[in-house]
Amino acid sequence: MHAKNDNQAMTNFIYNMIKEDVEKGALGDKCVHTRFPPEPNGYLHIGHARAILLNFKLARIFNGKFNLRFDDTNPIKEEQEFVDSIMEDIRWLGADWEDRLFFSSDYFDVKYEFALRLIKAGRAYVCDLNQEEIREYRGTLTEPGTESPYRNRSIEENLDLFERMRKGEFPDGSRVLRAKIDMTSGNLNMRDPVIYRILHTAHHRTGDKWCIYPMYDFDHPFSDAHEGITHSLCSIEYTDHRPLYDWIVDNAMELYPEVVKYRSRQTEFARLDLTYTVMSKRKLRRLVEEKYVQGWNDPRMPTIAGMRRRGFTPAAIADFQERVGVSRADSIADLALLEHCIRQELETTAPRLMAVLDPVKVVITNWPEGESEMMEMENIPGDESAGTREVPFSGELYIERDDFMEDPPKKFFRLAPGREVRLKGAYIIKCEEVIKDSQGIVSELRCTYDPQTRSGNDTSGKKVKGVIHWVSTGYATRVKVNLYDKLFTIEQPEEERDIDFINNINPQSLVVCENVPVEPAVEEVFPGSRFQFLRKGYFYYDPVASEEGMPAFNRIVALKDSWAKVKNKG
pLDDT per residue over 321-355, tens digit each? 999 999 998 889 999 999 999 999 999 999 999 99
Q: What is the structure's pLDDT at 434? A: 97
The one catalytic residue among 39, 78, 268, 420: 39
Q: What is the structure's pLDDT at 465? A: 93
Lowest mean per-residue pLDDT among 217-221, 384-388, 498-502: 498-502
Contacts of 100 (CB under 8 A, 6+ apart): 65, 66, 67, 68
Residue of 417, 426, 431 whose CA lies nearest to 534:
426
How far apart (Å, rounded) are the C-alpha atoms in residues 403 and 429? 13
Three-state secondary-structure class, residue 399: strand
DSSP state of 84: H
Average pLDDT over residues 125-135: 97
Provide the pLDDT confidence category of residue 565 given band limits of 50, 70 and 90. Answer: low
The one catalytic residue among 35, 50, 65, 281: 281
pLDDT in tens, 6-56: 544 567 899 999 999 999 999 999 999 999 999 999 999 999 999 999 999
Residue 32 CB: number of other CB atoms within 10 A? Answer: 21
Contacts of 186 (CB under 8 A, 6+ apart): none
Instruction: Check pLDDT > 50 for residue 461.
Output: yes
158 close to 119: Cβ distance less than 8 angstroms: yes
Q: Euclidean distance between the first and final Cα of the chain, in Å?
A: 31
Instruction: Check pLDDT > 80 for residue 567.
Output: no
Instruction: Check pLDDT > 90 for residue 568.
Output: no
Q: What is the structure's pLDDT at 569? A: 53
Per cent of the chain over pLDDT 90 is 93
Lowest mean per-residue pLDDT among 9-23, 56-70, 194-208, 439-453: 9-23
483 close to 443: Cβ distance less than 8 angstroms: no
Average pLDDT over residues 494-510: 89
Q: Supply φ then ψ for residue 384, to 5 degrees.
A: -65, -30
pLDDT in tens, 273-316: 999 999 999 999 999 999 999 999 999 999 999 999 999 999 99
Q: What is the structure's pLDDT at 401? A: 97
Per cent of the chain over pLDDT 70 is 97
Instruction: Delineate the domains of the chain, giving CATH numbers in brackets.
Output: 3-269 (3.40.50.620), 281-351+479-569 (2.40.240.10), 357-468 (2.40.240.10)
**What mean pLDDT, rounded, does the chain reach?**
94
The one catalytic residue among 100, 261, 263, 271: 271
Instruction: Check pLDDT > 50 for residue 5.
Output: no
281 in catalytic set: yes
444 in catalytic set: no
How far apart (Å, rounded) are the C-alpha atoms in residues 174 and 131? 9
Q: What is the structure's pLDDT at 1? A: 37
271 in catalytic set: yes
Provide the pLDDT confidence category of residue 497 given band limits of 50, 70 and 90. Answer: confident
552-557 and 537-541 strand pairing: antiparallel
How far apart (Å, rounded) are the C-alpha atoms in residues 407 and 409? 7
Question: Facing residues of 68 across strands?
Answer: 36, 101
Dihedral sign (CA 158, 164, 165, 169): negative
Provide the pLDDT confidence category of residue 399 given band limits of 50, 70 and 90. Answer: very high
Provide the pLDDT confidence category of residue 122 given band limits of 50, 70 and 90. Answer: very high
Q: What is the structure's pLDDT at 329? A: 86
Instruction: Check pLDDT > 60 for residue 63.
Output: yes
DSSP state of 115: H
CA dihedral 304, 274, 325, 87 (to 10 degrees): -20
pLDDT in tens, 514-545: 999 999 999 999 999 999 999 999 999 999 99
How far apart (Å, rounded) are the C-alpha atoms in residues 208 and 166? 11
CA dihedral 306, 311, 314, 318 (to 10 degrees): -90
546: left (phi over 0), alpha (psi -120 to 50) or beta: beta
Q: What is the structure's pLDDT at 250? A: 98
Q: What is the structure's pLDDT at 331? A: 82
Q: What angle do CA 475, 477, 483 make, to 5 degrees?
A: 135
Lowest mean per-residue pLDDT among 228-237, 382-391, 497-506: 497-506
Question: Facing residues of 481 across strands?
Answer: 513, 553
264 close to 232: Cβ distance less than 8 angstroms: yes
Amino acid at 225: A
Q: What angle do CA 555, 493, 310 make, to 5 degrees?
A: 20
